[in-house]
Amino acid sequence: MRYDASQALSFSLDGEDLLFNPGDTILQAAHRGGRYIPHLCWHPDFAPHGSCRLCTVKVNGRTGSACTIQAAAGIEVESNTEELNAHRKTLLQMLFVEGNHFCPSCEKSGHCALQATAYQMGMEGPHFEEFYPTRPMDASHPDLLLDFNRCILCGLCARASSEIDGKNVFAIGGHGMGTHLVVNSPSGQLGDTDMAATDRAASICPVGVILPKRRGFVIPIGERPYDKQSPADVEAELAAGGTT
Ligand code: SF4
Ligand code: FES
């Protein structure tokens, strides 16, 4: 939904007025207005998860998550600042070293929100020592491959599976360093669930964990959304009704 003209509320985002609808979070308002606030665990179709912290902004000088804080008339929100982008770069570097992200060999390269956001934030290397965790792959499903090495625990697949597909195929389990993606079947294998390649959960992953089989590199490297556009441009296009 676009703006309700009878209630023209606005707040300031990086010094420019932004309209919002009553009930919007700051990130919802920014998305609707085609303004980019970096995010990984948020998606316009789902309730916020608040886990990745990429969307951290300053609201009247206090830090908080743009995906969970309600917009309010007259507030001053800072997002695109050197300080906040440096913080985002550090979070991204931590995500990269926690998993095994080898972009040049990843089928999702050029279509990966983690990779694109890292470029956007000027990340040139991992900075921290790589963990190189041992994580499994699951090829048990006839049409889908799971590569747990790239999971950033955004929870989008779990929300899509339960809220849209009505299946509860995925969950986030464990605590702290042991937090991990869980497949809800007696064997823990995707092939033992009722997941279908047409499920929303099959196409929601912002990185290269849930991949369709037999379609690798159908869209060549160089012709993928983030090969041509920044996340900010993709966001603006989506807000204008486009698709990626
Ligand atoms: S598999 Fe993908 S969508 Fe699911 S939690 Fe991991 S990164 Fe997020
Ligand atoms: S997008 Fe707000 S915490 Fe992840």
- The pLDDT tens digits for 75-112 are 999 999 999 999 999 999 999 999 999 999 999 999 99
Mutate to test the pocket of ligand 1, among 106, 157, 168, 204 (most ligand atoms within 8 A of CB): 157
Orientation angle between helical segments 82-98 and 113-120, nearest 10 degrees: 140
Residues within a 6 A CB radius of ligand 1: 151-157, 170, 181, 204-205, 207, 209-210
- Mean pLDDT is lowest, of 19-28, 36-45, 76-85, 216-225, for 216-225
> Looking at residues 117-130, what average pLDDT do you find?
95
pLDDT of residue 7: 64
**CB burial class (10 A; 0-12, 13-18, 19+) of residue 99?**
buried
The protein residue whose alpha carbon is closest to atom 2 in ligand 1 is 205
Residues within a 6 A CB radius of ligand 2: 39-42, 50-55, 65, 67
Q: Mean pLDDT over all residues of the chain?
A: 93
DSSP 243: -
The CA 118 to ligand 1 mean position distance, Å, reads 17
Residue 54: nearest ligand to its CA?
Answer: 2
> Looking at residues 27-55, what average pLDDT do you find?
95
The string of pLDDT tens digits covering residues 58-68 is 999 999 999 99
The model's confidence at residue 236, banded by pLDDT at 50, 70 and 90, is: confident
Run of H or E residues at 84: helix 82-98
pLDDT of residue 137: 96
The CA 67 to ligand 2 mean position distance, Å, reads 6
pLDDT of residue 3: 61
Please state, as a whole number, how many other Cβ atoms lie within 10 Å of the Cβ of residue 48. 19
CA–CA separation, 54 vs 39, rounded Å?
Answer: 5
The domain 5-80 having CATH identifier 3.10.20.740: the answer here is yes
Name the amino acid, one letter, at 193. Answer: T
Residue 108: nearest ligand to its CA?
Answer: 1
The CA 234 to ligand 1 mean position distance, Å, reads 20
Q: Which fold has domain 86-215?
A: Alpha-Beta Plaits (3.30.70)
CA–CA separation, 25 vs 148, rounded Å?
Answer: 31
Residue 95: nearest ligand to its CA?
Answer: 1
The protein residue whose alpha carbon is closest to atom 8 in ligand 1 is 154
Q: Where are the domains of the chain?
A: 5-80, 86-215
pLDDT of residue 5: 60
pLDDT of residue 233: 87
The string of pLDDT tens digits covering residues 145-193 is 999 999 999 999 999 999 999 999 999 999 988 899 999 999 999 999 9
Residue among 151, 195, 194, 191 at smallest CA distance from 173: 151
Please state, as a whole number, how many other Cβ atoms lie within 10 Å of the Cβ of residue 142. 10
Cβ atoms of 26 and 91 closer than 8 Å:
no
Residues with Cβ within 8 Å of 178's Cβ and at least 6 positions away in sequence, in order, are: none
The model's confidence at residue 51, banded by pLDDT at 50, 70 and 90, is: very high
Run of H or E residues at 159: helix 156-159
pLDDT of residue 87: 98
The CA 242 to ligand 2 mean position distance, Å, reads 23
The protein residue whose alpha carbon is closest to atom 3 in ligand 1 is 205
Mutate to test the pocket of ligand 2, among 43, 45, 54 (most ligand atoms within 8 A of CB): 54
